[in-house]
């Protein structure tokens, strides 16, 4: 993404200091002035008053087309255009280039050239110059949008802006201003917004350049400027929220802003590649807010880990290992798609089939994949408890007790499933244990009837 040769040349022409003597008539850009050929209306060899004497070119001499020694090769004649490094060297050696007045297009192109070549501090200078040229368009848009209130800004097609591709930002802003003078608030807002489309790209580029230069506060302000014009701008929402989350870890108010930005991105752009990461960061930002800041969150996690490790050291050898916080976060942040829900339901069905066939270890493996995603799934909890009972694990009593207390109806229904699948003996054993461990079970009469069959 290099600066076009045309724009580079225009920039150089605009800034090149004149090497003509004082009082010399202005030579328009693009005009080839040959001292061997007098201006119209003058005799041969007649030069303007005060002009230094020039040697006449030999009669019949024709230009050779050869470039001066060391001159960069030029396009249009089969020669390669100058490289980015060559252009940068030319620009760096051009005296007074920064201070010269430029159009938006030239200033933004110069800024882009420096930015893509890692010259961020230089890029910011020219990008700011481009934004300054577009300031009237920004101010006009914000003023007209405010007048519209809750009325949405119409599309450029509906407003009939009729701007041609490549039209200068300043010209589009002038056309929008004319509409505003005529009282066409909606049309002025729509056309000014079109003019700002390339401007927002420049503002985003400057924000990135500031961030890469270590100026986080400046970058945040620049991202906010983009969102002032386009509140749902995907890249600005993500970049600003991510930077707030990264640099304001102890500022609860800033963390709330970061989460709001992530949520706004997901709402406005649910199908974008950034949406999934925005969801995860929103959740993490919320956890950080609840903890009171990043340091407190990290301290809390460290304490939780210490407790889990302590409990794991005291647990029976065959007890399942506790999930790490990373694993828990991964489960919590996994999107609940219809495909995932169908897969979990299939695992439960297969687990019950394993139980009916006495394959308790295989059943347990299925249920341990379901419960982290669906901790309130009564069928999965009942199946896991019965699998542990069948395996005779030391922790079976505790897990069975939890299943019976939280959802005894699901435990009873598991017995029905086992009987349907041919495991009548297992079903009766399950019902007997349920009747013994849940004396207050509301459906105890029906349970006793099943045991009497």
Task: Provide DSSP, 285-312.
Answer: HHHHHHHTSHHHHHHHHHHHHHHHHHHH
DSSP state of 71: P
CB hemisphere CA count around 227 (13 angstroms) = 20
Q: Are 54 and 24 in contact (CB under 8 A)?
A: no
Helices (H), 41-95: 84-92
Report the alpha-carbon distance of residue 198 to residue 290 in Å, rounded. 40
Mean pLDDT throughout 298-304? Answer: 81
For residue 34, pLDDT beyond 50: no
**Coil, strand, or helix at residue 221?**
helix
Domains of the chain: 135-195 (no CATH), 245-309 (no CATH), 337-452 (1.25.40.10)
260 compared with 452, residue with greater pLDDT = 260
Please list, in sequence order, all residues whose beta carbon lies within 8 angstroms of the beta carbon of residue 319, skipping any fewer than 6 positions away: 393, 394, 395
Q: What is the pLDDT of residues 389-434, one digit of tens each?
A: 998 887 888 899 989 988 999 999 999 999 999 999 999 999 999 9
Helix H or strand E segment including 169 = helix 169-181
Amino acid 448: pLDDT: 82
Report the alpha-carbon distance of residue 396 to residue 387 in Å, rounded. 8
For residue 280, pLDDT beyond 80: yes
Amino acid 315: pLDDT: 52
Report the alpha-carbon distance of residue 268 to residue 278 in Å, rounded. 12
Instruction: Identify the band that residue 37 occupies on the pLDDT scale cut at 50, 70 and 90.
Output: very low
**What's the burial of 453, exposed, middle or buried (CB within 10 Å: 0-12/13-18/19+)?**
exposed
Please list, in sequence order, all residues whose beta carbon lies within 8 angstroms of the beta carbon of residue 26, skipping any fewer than 6 positions away: none
Task: State what percent of residues in the chain have pLDDT above 90.
Answer: 57
Convert 251-270 to b/e letters by CB count within 10 Å (16 or more is b): eeebbebbbebbbbbbeebe
**Coil, strand, or helix at residue 168?**
coil
Alpha-carbon distances, residue 411 vs 235, 428, 444 (angstroms):
50, 12, 12
Instruction: Identify the band that residue 121 occupies on the pLDDT scale cut at 50, 70 and 90.
Output: very high
For residue 1, pLDDT beyond 50: no
Amino acid 164: pLDDT: 92
For residue 52, pLDDT beyond 70: no
Q: What is the pLDDT of residues 329-365, one digit of tens each?
A: 666 667 778 888 899 999 999 999 999 999 999 999 9
DSSP state of 37: S
């Amino acid at each position: 993404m290099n600066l076009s040769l045309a724009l580079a040349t225009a920039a150089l022409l605009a800034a090149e200091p004149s090497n003509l003597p004082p009082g010399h008539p202005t030579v328009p850009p693009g005009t080839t002035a040959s001292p061997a050929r007098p201006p119209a209306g003058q005799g041969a060899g007649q030069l303007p008053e005060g002009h230094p004497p020039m040697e006449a070119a030999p009669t019949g001499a024709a230009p050779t087309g050869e470039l001066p020694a060391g001159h960069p090769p030029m396009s249009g004649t089969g020669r390669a255009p100058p490289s980015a490094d060559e252009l940068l060297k030319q620009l760096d050696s051009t005296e007074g280039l920064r201070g010269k007045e430029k159009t938006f297009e030239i200033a933004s192109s110069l800024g882009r050239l420096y930015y893509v070549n890692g010259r961020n501090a230089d890029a910011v200078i020219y990008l700011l110059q481009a934004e300054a040229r577009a300031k009237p368009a920004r101010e006009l848009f914000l003023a007209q949008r405010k007048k519209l209130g809750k009325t949405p800004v119409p599309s450029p097609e509906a407003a009939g802006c009729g701007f041609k591709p490549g039209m200068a930002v300043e010209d589009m802003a002038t056309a929008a201003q004319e509409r505003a003078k005529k009282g066409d608030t909606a049309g002025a807002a729509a056309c000014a917004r079109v003019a700002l489309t390339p401007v927002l790209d420049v503002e985003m580029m400057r924000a990135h350049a500031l961030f890469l230069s270590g100026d986080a506060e400046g970058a945040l302000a620049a991202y906010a400027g983009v969102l002032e014009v386009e509140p749902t701008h995907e890249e600005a929402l993500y970049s600003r929220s991510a930077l707030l989350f990264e640099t304001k870890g102890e500022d609860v108010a800033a963390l709330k802003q970061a989460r709001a930005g992530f949520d706004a991105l997901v709402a406005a752009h649910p199908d974008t590649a950034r949406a999934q990461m925005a969801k995860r960061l929103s959740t993490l930002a919320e956890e950080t807010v609840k903890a009171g800041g990043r340091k407190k969150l990290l301290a809390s996690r460290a304490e939780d880990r210490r407790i889990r490790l302590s409990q794991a050291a005291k647990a029976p050898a065959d007890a399942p290992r506790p999930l790490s916080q990373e694993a828990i976060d991964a489960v919590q942040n996994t999107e609940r798609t219809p495909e995932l829900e169908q897969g979990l339901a299939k695992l439960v069905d297969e687990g019950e089939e394993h139980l009916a066939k006495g394959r308790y270890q295989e059943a347990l493996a299925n249920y341990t994949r379901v419960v982290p995603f669906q901790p309130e799934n009564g069928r999965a909890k009942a199946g896991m408890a019965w699998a542990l009972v069948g395996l005779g694990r030391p922790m079976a009593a505790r897990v069975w007790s939890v299943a019976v207390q939280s959802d005894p109806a699901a435990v009873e229904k598991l017995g029905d499933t086992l009987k349907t699948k041919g495991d009548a003996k297992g079903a009766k054993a399950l019902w007997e244990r349920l009747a013994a461990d849940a004396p207050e079970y509301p459906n105890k009469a029906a349970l006793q009837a099943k045991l009497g069959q």
